[in-house]
Amino acid sequence: MTDLTVISAARATLPDTPFAARHLIDGVWCDSADGATFDRVSPSHGHVVTKAAKGGAKDVAHAIEAARLAFDAGTWSRSSGKDRAALLLKVADLIDRECERIAMMETLESGKPISQAKAEIEGAADLWRYAAALARTMHGESHNTLGDNMLGVVLKEPIGVVSIITPWNFPFLIVSQKLPFALAAGCTAVVKPSEMTPATTVILGELLVEAGLPAGVVNIVLGYGEPVGTAMTTDSRVDMVTFTGSTGVGKAIVKAAAATLKKVSLELGGKNPQVIFPDADLNSAVDAVVFGVYFNAGECCNSGSRILVHEDIAEDFIARTVALSRDVPFGDPLDPDTKVGAIITPQHQEKIDSYVKEAAKSGAQVRLGGAPLSVAGLDGQFYQPTVVADVTRDMPIAREEVFGPVLSVLTFSSLEEAISLVNDAEYGLSAGVWSENVHTCLEFALRAQAGTVWTNTWMDGYAELPFGGVKESGQGRELGRYGLDEFLEAKTVTMRIGRTRAPWVQPRTD
């Protein structure tokens, strides 16, 4: 472990008292109906950083009622695109103003590096601005080729009340991939952040109130999946559920929502491959692989945790990856030089470690890491950068989402074999290919079963481009115009111009 790059505790000033998080319901900040609360302990520093209201069924019912009444009243749902855009732009400006504060709370609650958190908050503000642009350019269709005296119009209308359930790994960014698009469409919402990262969503609620969003349009209920998430999914007054998280929970949401046939949009897990061919720019590929697996400590649905390397270059590539992995700064997330912070919970760290241990017992070779990491001066949980070679496609570490800083390496001998390995998975979120041959890249992009394919890059994202998965990685899309369409219903209006319709029944004349 001594040859790793480890950053010990920084001399950062921590908050004197925990962040106090309450529900936002119908424009009012409130405690839970039963007074229940829960604490969030920092995964990197080991002390309580947030004290939050713990929601129950009554709180959810109150929030859904507020969202339903606000939508039906039409103050927001029937407002102009100009007015919606103006508010979303104001929120984006407020996010920029509060970037330091939001980033600090996200780091304390999630364990991610402060530099990364700041970049995510900046990216989230951009999403609010992009959604504002969509609010002003949203439109339906007209059809004037239906025959004489006929005109068809397709209206785009907000779907209604949306339950938004977000995860702990990118709490502020992911709520910003959903909420501003729902608001741009004219929807109202009830939002539940993860119980592990409630603070930044509460801060967002403060900014929405400051920006002048009408009461009841956005409501925030804190707490656990049971009962809060369940109630948000099953209530008949909710028209849609959008969820980001594990595939297992996503399947449960689909089952729960089926009773009321509400729309469900899911962004779920991934076991995302990067395929490296011998003609690739290996220096760039190694850097992208290291970034892809260690970014956010691998706690990322887009984590490039599975690489497929051509057998002719496999040993060289693994050696380069191990060498560069040793240089990645792991440690205190409050140090601006840290690139990989803490693991979200002790239980999750044990799960990560179990995948590595099981792979080693099955014949895989741990070339680097494979154990928890000690960071001087900190009482949290960290895991070493880990590279596991000689992995076969049947091993759990090659097929299941580890969600940690663990890289699985498989080899292939031909394009056909590579595509077979890529598509031999329950997931289909993203995939990448590295080759200087454009034909190789294009064929791979066409045949890979994934919602996103990167060629000679990894994890570049833009507000304009849709994001989502196929197979067990989810359904529906976020971002781009597709992200707005998720929150819209199409209504057909068919109009006859003039009294030209031939009678169906001729009246009797006798």
- The pLDDT of residue 443 is 98
HSE on the CB side for 329, CA within 13 Å?
A: 15
CB 147 within 8 A of CB 500: no
Same fold, 14-268+473-492 and 273-455: no
Q: How confident is the model at residue 500 (pLDDT cuts 50, 70, 90)?
A: confident
Q: Is 509 helix (H, G, I), strand (E, B) or coil?
A: coil
Region 425-437: what's the mean pLDDT? 98
**How many angstroms separate the CA atoms of 386 and 309, rounded?**
17
Provide the 8-state DSSP code for 110.
H
Tens-place pLDDT, residues 407-417: 999 999 999 99
User: Into which CATH architecture does domain 14-268+473-492 fall?
Assistant: 3-Layer(aba) Sandwich (3.40)
Q: At what angle do helices 114-137 and 99-110 cross, to 10 degrees?
A: 120
**How many angstroms separate the CA atoms of 189 and 183, rounded?**
8
- The pLDDT of residue 253 is 97
Alpha helices in 389-476 (DSSP H): 396-399, 415-423, 438-447
- The pLDDT of residue 141 is 97
293: pLDDT strictly greater than 90: yes
240: pLDDT strictly greater than 50: yes
Give CA separation, 451 vs 132, 272, 417, 427, 476, in Å.
25, 11, 20, 10, 10
Tens-place pLDDT, residues 455-469: 999 999 999 999 999
Tens-place pLDDT, residues 245-254: 999 999 999 9
Domain boundaries, the chain: 14-268+473-492, 273-455
* pLDDT above 70 coverage of the chain, percent: 100
Q: Which pair of structure tokens corresponds to residue 415? A: 């394009």
User: Distance between alpha carbon 481 and the CA centroid of its chain, in Å?
Assistant: 17
Nearest Cα neighbor of 194 from 180, 173, 213 is 173
**How many angstroms separate the CA atoms of 192 and 180, rounded?**
15
Which CATH class name applies to 273-455? alpha beta
Q: How confident is the model at residue 509 (pLDDT cuts 50, 70, 90)?
A: confident
186 burial type by CB count under 10 A (0-12 exposed, 13-18 middle, 19+ buried): buried
Q: Which pair of structure tokens corresponds to residue 156? A: 């785009």
119: pLDDT strictly greater than 80: yes
Give CA separation, 467 vs 169, 177, 463, 475, in Å.
17, 10, 9, 10
With vertex at residue 195, the alpha carbon angle to CA 476 and CA 239, rounded to the nearest 5 degrees, is 35
- What average pLDDT does the structure give for the chain? 96
- The pLDDT of residue 1 is 47
Tens-place pLDDT, residues 24-48: 999 999 999 999 999 999 999 999 9
Strand partners, 406: 386
Q: Which residues form the catalytic set?
A: 267, 301
Tens-place pLDDT, residues 6-17: 999 977 778 889
- The pLDDT of residue 2 is 57
**How many angstroms separate the CA atoms of 425 and 437, rounded?**
26
